[in-house]
Amino acid sequence: MSRAQNHEFQEWWNKQRQTNHDLLLSSDESSQLLTVDIHSPRPDRTVGKDRSRSARQLSWVCRLKFQQIAASLASVANSFLVLLRTANRRVTSPDSPADSASSRLYRAIKVFLIVVLLLLCFELVAYFKGWHFSPPSVRSGELAELVYANWLHVRVNYLAPPLQSFTNVCIVLFLIQSVDRVVLVLGCFWIKFRRVKPKAVMEYKTTSLPSLSNVEEGNAEKVNLEDYPMVLLQIPMCNEREVYHQSIAAVCIQDWPNERMLVQVLDDSDDIEVQQLIKAEVNKWQQRGVPILYRHRLIRTGYKAGNLKSAMSCDYVKNYEFVAIFDSDFQPEPEFLKKTIPYFKGNDDLGLVQTRWSFVNKDENLLTRLQNINLSFHFEVEQQVNGVFINFFGFNGTAGVWRIKALEDCGGWLERTTVEDMDVAVRAHLCGWKFIYLNDVKCVCELPESYGAYKKQQHRWHSGPMQLFRMCFFDILRSKVSVTKKANLIFLFFLLRKLILPFYSFTLFCIILPLTMFLPEAQLPAWVVCYVPGIMSVLNILPAPRSFPFIVPYLLFENTMSVTKFNAMISGLFQFGSSYEWIVTKKLGRSSETDLIAFERGSVPLVPTTGLHRSASESGLEELTKLETAKKSGKKRRNRLYRKELVIAFVLLTASARSLLSAQGIHFYFLLFQGITFLVVGLDLIGEQVS
């Protein structure tokens, strides 16, 4: 028996086809091959035939959607399986290196994990016996009920109150730091709105580098050398095999008269082959007419500070007025000096001009993207606001120009901490010197691409300030600067941003939050766990708007890094052995080979070409070949296992399981995803994969 036609449905369907007609015409070609043209029906078509074609079209569209969903799910599942296989291989492989297990913090966290596991087992037993819903009395006859009843008594009266008090203290610190962050962002908005920028009393004319024909014919532009002060350019390095040539090349092509500059390559390398490569690079530029010297210390004391101090002790330094410093992976643009030196003219109390960093590999992997968010906020907001409003900020150690008189006035480079740049900046500020930050002058550099290199860098950056704070606290109090500047240095610069920030980040989210799951009488509000950190993450990411898709990974990764920063802060504050450890941040020099080849092919010599110069140019490519050979024959690197991060991952995952028993939704999700993030970082699945 034939089925009766549904004319109401048919009428509705025809209207829908007419409405979606334009949308279907704009479909891609592949979809058109698999679909049926569904133009408005002709008057002579039967309703049944039209309905049949419409149903066929609908089935094809649904099938394509299902195929797309299935392909996406298959891709996600495949990535997840690859991740699991990689993690399993690293855990089970006996050759997988791991960090030290002798750390005090690691032993404390391991004990904490054992405690929470025992508490979870205890709470599971109580849950299945129904004691969560009807707690037993202390007068109960059974031993298990008596133990649980006494545990509840101890928990309510002796454990929860001090935990709640400690939680409240951390919440207050968290809110103070959040207010500081909001004030900085508002200051940055004010600077942008009012277009506040440092102003120079003069400008140098930007000129292109002299060409070979101009040099030979004597047509090079004449300049008044008296307008160009004497500038010393220093490149400190240590075993920088991958990047030494790109920094030397970038500094040597500065658009500045050769008679008014001198380049010092300060090589602390203990690798003989690297020393020879750097010497050959220096000789090549000397033959091109660039005033450049190679210095090597036989005794490497004081690390970078000792290297710079030794270079500044040379007799010829007294002939120079300014010194520009560039780390080995930094590549200043040719007009760097012409854009920074003019700010010193007419500002006799100006000691430092700091420029912004930009990163050649910020999109290399997830780790570099997250670092770019942090450093963009540091330069765009922190450095710029402090430079505009108080003329003081921490020197970043590179991509800056110092007035040599300011360095001499504050005592020069000292070897007492691992943050010699912050040390000299604080002492210069106490002596009355002012700083300027230029946000529109950028210097290209490289971010560490492996988690191991990044972790070592962050340890040094957070232990050094605590060392310095111990040493200069009384110097700050005795200095002649105003009370406002003293308060800014002690409470904002050191305590709030260098001590309180890593302290509450670690204790609040890695210790207190898991404990409140086992001691539910102590409450950690949801707005502390989720809402305020989310708002702060949005503010942090504003200077790097392209990174908004990574806002959740950024929030979770920052909490993960709090372990390293807290450990470094404690070691620096109490002068543990690791606080004096200086490890050069590993660079890969991804752009260095391309830059060298491009420079060899496209550049012209600064002096007339000779046979010796040509041989030096050819030797540069030979050095590049040697470099590639050395890279391939070098020691094989492997991804590591990080014990502290792995133990905290299991602590947080255990606490998330306990939160299910109390039906704490937002706490469960935060603990779950934060625990997974710790697990991913502990297995070294973020950053460069070299295993």
Q: Which long-range contacts (CB under 8 A, 24 or more apart) does 79-87 make?
A: 83/685, 86/683, 86/685, 86/689, 86/691, 87/683, 87/685
Which of left, alpha, beta for 48 (phi over 0: left; psi -120 to 50: alpha)? alpha
Amino acid occupying residue 15: K
Report the chain's terminal Cα–Cα distance, integer Å: 69
Contact 371, 397 (CB under 8 A): no
| Three-state DSSP class for residue 6 | coil
Closest C-alpha among 389, 262, 409 to residue 337: 262
The tokens describing 620, both together, are: 């540069």
The CA radius of gyration of the chain, in Å to the nearest whole number, is 32
- Which pair of structure tokens corresponds to residue 338? 């012409």
Ranges of the chain with pLDDT below 50: 1-3, 23-24, 27-40, 47, 209-220, 592-594, 596-634
DSSP helix/strand/coil, 346: coil
What is the predicted pLDDT for the residue at 38?
47
Residue 410 CB neighbours (<10 A): 21
Indicate the DSSP class of residue 609.
-
Name the CA dihedral angle for 82, 88, 90, 95, rounded to a multiple of 10 degrees. -130
Q: Which two tokens stand for residue 396?
A: 């970043």
The pLDDT value given to residue 605: 46
Q: d(Cα 513, Cα 524) in Å, to the nearest integer?
A: 7
Domains in the chain (CATH in brackets) are 228-449 (3.90.550.10)
What H or E segment, with its residue span, contains residue 434? strand 434-445
Backbone angles phi, psi at 155, to 5 degrees: -65, -45
**Cα 285 to chain center, whole Å?**
34
Q: Taking a C-beta distance cutoff of 8 angstroms, is the pair 465, 572 a contact? A: yes
Q: Which of 391, 340, 350 is nearest to 229 (CA)?
A: 340
Positive or negative, the CA dihedral 517, 523, 527, 532 is negative
Helix H or strand E segment including 351: strand 350-359
Q: Which residues are marked as active site?
A: 268, 421
321, 261 in Cβ contact below 8 A? no
Three-state secondary structure readout of 273-330: HHHHHHHHHHHHHHHCCCCEEEEECCCCCCHHHHHHHHHHCCHHHHHCCEEEECCCCC
Q: What is the pLDDT of residues 473-515, one digit of tens each?
A: 999 999 999 999 999 999 999 999 999 999 999 999 999 999 9
The pLDDT score that the predictor gives to residue 133 is: 75
Residue type for position 380: E
Contact between 239 and 267 under an 8 Å Cβ cutoff? The reply is no
Q: What is the pLDDT of residue 20?
A: 57
Name which of 304, 323, 301 is nearest 314 in CA terms. 323
Q: Under 8 Å CB-to-CB from 317, ≥6 apart: which residues?
A: 232, 311, 323, 404
What per-residue confidence (pLDDT) applies to 60? 81
Nearest C-alpha neighbor of 266 from the set 422, 398, 172: 398
